Amino acid sequence: ITKLEKYRPALHFSPKKNWMNDPNGLVFFKGEYHLFYQHNPHGSTWGPMHWGHAVSKDLIVWDELEIALHPDENGTIFSGSIVVDWNNTTGFFNEEPGLVAIFTHHSEPDHGKEAVQTQSLAYSIDKGRSWIKYDGNPVLAHPTNPDFRDPKVFWHKDTQKWMMALATGQTISFYSSPNLKDWQFESEFGENCGCHKGVWECPDLFELPIDNTNDKKWVLIVSIGDNPQYDEGSRTQYFVGSFDGKEFTPEHEDIKWLDYGKDNYAGVSFSDIPEADGRRIYLGWMSNWRYANQVPTEGWRSQMTLPRELELREKMGEYYLVQHLVRELDTYFDRKEERTDTIITDKESTVFEVDHEYTEIILSFKNINANKYGLRIEHTDSQHTTITIDAKENILSLSREKSGVVDFSDIFPKLQRVCLEDSHSLELRIIVDSASLELFINGGEQALTSLIFPDKVSKRICLFAEEGKVNLVYGKVSVPSKS
């Protein structure tokens, strides 16, 4: 991992050149994790979409390969997914199973006609290195709906069919198929649930065990597009419920946010991770449609979140997602400094010195007897990002107003907030990379993902308390490992 240019992340995937948005076709196959992504090879802003491609053995170091899918007579290549066709249901393969991509063909509005979006197939017999488009494309079209995109496909064991979750305006529609070529409509979900402040995009549907028991629930992730009327820009919600191969039935109507930061969008999970591993691993696009085209990088734009393992927890009859960074990340860090039982007051601040390409901060607070407390990540003498916990209001807020370049968007410098559940103790894990910060609260019960554009990653980290004191039970700062 080497730092090449200003803001180039060391730990996060970013394209060598040009524009990137959504992760696509996340799949594990023959020892490799594949990351495809929305990509414009002609410039560093959004444009005619292709699928870029990278592979990794450990989800952290990625090797960028050739562009996988180029536009054709059916349109440009919007988001979609990839599955391993183990049983050759498509007839595309001979002895060896291979990969099938199910993606949206998008054609721009033409002569007063609306945009057309259809679903198409491509397959690979050489571990994703080259792709053949199916000659029967498109395989799924809609006569009237212009928002008909982002197919996420998986094998549904109980019905022995492929299932597709598709974004269809402000709903998600489910389709089934025996062979990925012939699709049947099953149901439409979402009219009366969740957040409808923007178009629904990039669904993902999967089953997870509850608290590592044998009980399971289904999780439906839905991204919500930018709507200029609201300050949040684009963001991601999820639903917990059941799915019988036809319909998704939620346990709730309220909104559950996957992330409380502004910069985690269009995320989906990997397909075909072996059962022996059993993890549900998620990657998001670390940006926001409100300002994605304006962020101050040069020659390339956007990065992915770090890969996160998703788990489902039950608390007082409610289910919610918990996110952990994948364990593969651990070997990229060495412990630099540790503290135990340190009283933080408003008189003297506690400081960790760090001056590295990237940093991990773990903090655990107890005996909170201050109005406010938190930490300031000092990037340079004049640039910092501040995380403040208002112990009275029980709100954690992240301020990036002074974090470096912020003036490319009105909403970028605004506070990002999380309502905390418990005011007596708090555990934070933070990864700071060249242009981002990912914060996990209380073992990943809440997450906040935020871009920042400082001149340097960090110099020092200062802990503070206002009007009172708090006990830092444990604090650890880690820096890049030598190996």
Q: Which residues are catalytic?
A: 22
Q: Hey, is 330 helix, strand or coil?
A: helix
Instruction: Output the smallest distance, CB 238 to ligand FRU, in A.
Output: 16
Nearer to ligand FRU, 50 or 379 (CB): 50
Widest CA span in the chain: 72
Nearer to ligand FRU, 201 or 272 (CB): 201
- Which position has the token pair 């290549």? 77
Instruction: Output the smallest distance, CB 237 to ligand FRU, in A.
Output: 14
Helix (H) or strand (E) holding 464: strand 460-480
Interface positions, 29-68, toward ligand FRU (CB under 6 A): 38, 49
Nearby residues of 69 by Cβ (< 8 Å), 6 or more positions away? 36, 50, 51, 77, 101, 103, 122, 131, 133
- What are 475's strand-pairing partners? 339, 363
Instruction: Output the smallest distance, CB 136 to ligand FRU, in A.
Output: 21
Instruction: Output the smallest distance, CB 142 to ligand FRU, in A.
Output: 15
Q: Tokens representing 204?
A: 């993902």
Assess 195 for contact with ligand FRU (CB under 6 A): no
Instruction: Output the smallest distance, CB 41 to ligand FRU, in A.
Output: 13
User: Is residue 239 within 8 Å of 224, Cβ to Cβ?
Assistant: no
Interface positions, 92-121, toward ligand FRU (CB under 6 A): 104
Q: Tokens representing 219?
A: 């999780």
Dihedral sign (CA 27, 29, 32, 36): negative
# binding residues, ligand FRU (CB under 6 A) = 12
Nearer to ligand FRU, 35 or 461 (CB): 35
Instruction: Out of 240, 266, 312, 406, name the contact with ligand FRU by CB under 6 A.
Output: 266
Interface positions, 3-22, toward ligand FRU (CB under 6 A): 21-22
Q: Tokens representing 172?
A: 């998600």
- Measured between alpha carbons, how far is 227 from 435 in angstroms, rounded to an integer? 25
User: Is residue 116 within 8 Å of 146, Cβ to Cβ?
Assistant: yes
- Which one-letter DSSP state was computed for residue 178? S
Instruction: Out of 36, 51, 78, 239, name the contact with ligand FRU by CB under 6 A.
Output: 78
Nearby residues of 479 by Cβ (< 8 Å), 6 or more positions away? 333, 334, 336, 354, 356, 358, 359, 360
Instruction: Output the smallest distance, CB 76 to ligand FRU, in A.
Output: 8
Interface positions, 200-259, toward ligand FRU (CB under 6 A): 201-202
- Residues near ligand FRU (CB under 6 A) are 21-22, 38, 49, 78-79, 104, 149-150, 201-202, 266
